[in-house]
Structure 1
Amino acid sequence: MTASVVTIVYVNDAPAAARFYGDLLGISPSFETPGYIAFGLGPGADLALWADQFESLTPDVPRTSEVCLAIDGGPEELDAVFQQWRSKGVTILHEPHDAGFGRTFLAADPDGNRVRVAPQD
């Protein structure tokens, strides 16, 4: 069976969220409608932003999952990404620290969804 994995992130405003993620990831959407925008991340993987599924998502709603951006490079590369995101005004929930899988930090998108940066396995 051929399949791809689509990670769906619920947002209030799909175009605004797409600008946020597009800027952070340095890519453009591969599919766009007014309420659903997807980014091709590589063979078999997409990130989709879907609006109008919930009324007024707020950052204080508990989140039970996160988007993880797994990057190449060592701790210095991760720290550089952290500094870049911080300079863009991205909300940082947990500054860089060492975890069982390596150095990581946790940010939030404008709707409060969690975005982790970690080393690629």
Structure 2
Amino acid sequence: MLTIDSIVLYVENVQLSMAFYTRAFECDSKLLSPTFAVVEFAKNVKITLKQADALTPASPIRGGGTELSIPATNRVDLDKLFEKWKQQGVIFAQEREESVYGINFVALDPDGHRLRVFA
């Protein structure tokens, strides 16, 4: 059976994106080449970051077309994460808001990829 190894995000600056994810998620990352890095989360979840101008084959797709869905354990944890990211200077496309599936917010990585946290 096939499995997914990682989610690949095309980024403008691998070093900047790697630093963002490492800081925001307090996780490990490895620069595998000047244009390629891997960010390792818990439970064998990986995001790989590829420098957009070094793709083979080339692609016209750039950042901002992806949304990662991240569950928080509860509203208290969601609020703590929101405040932590706000203090780190993370940009938000949507502040905390109630919706049909609960409280959530949407943060943006340096390339505009969306990080939706919900509880």
**TM-score when normalising by structure 1:** 0.79
Question: Secondary structure of the equivalent of 1:29?
Answer: strand
Q: What are the equivalent positions in structure 2 for 1:93-108 lying under 5 Å apart?
A: 93-108=93-108
What are structure 2's unaligned runs of at least 5 residues? none
What are structure 1's unaligned runs of at least 5 residues? none
Q: Which residue of 2 aligns with 1:70?
A: 71
Compared CA separation, residues 42 and 87, structure 1 to 2 (3 A): closer
**Aligned-partner residue type, residue 106 of structure 1:** V
Query: Identity across aligned pairs (percent)?
Result: 23
Give the root-mean-square deviation of aligned CA atoms.
2.3
Q: How far is 1:34 from its partner?
A: 1.4
Separation (CA, whole Å) in 2 of partners of 1:19 and 1:64:
20
CA-to-aligned-CA distance 1:61-111 (integer Å, 9 cap, x gap): xx4431222222x11211111111111111011001112222110011111
CA-to-aligned-CA distance 1:38-62 (integer Å, 9 cap, x gap): 122244521111112467x57xxxx
**Aligned-partner residue type, residue 67 of structure 1:** L
**Aligned-partner residue type, residue 34 of structure 2:** P
Q: Paired residues, what number?
A: 114
**Aligned-partner residue type, residue 117 of structure 2:** V
| Contact 2:65 2:113 (8 Å CA) reproduced | no
**TM-score when normalising by structure 2:** 0.81
Compared CA separation, residues 44 and 84, structure 1 to 2 (3 A): closer
* Poorly superposed stretches of 4+, deviation over 4 Å: none
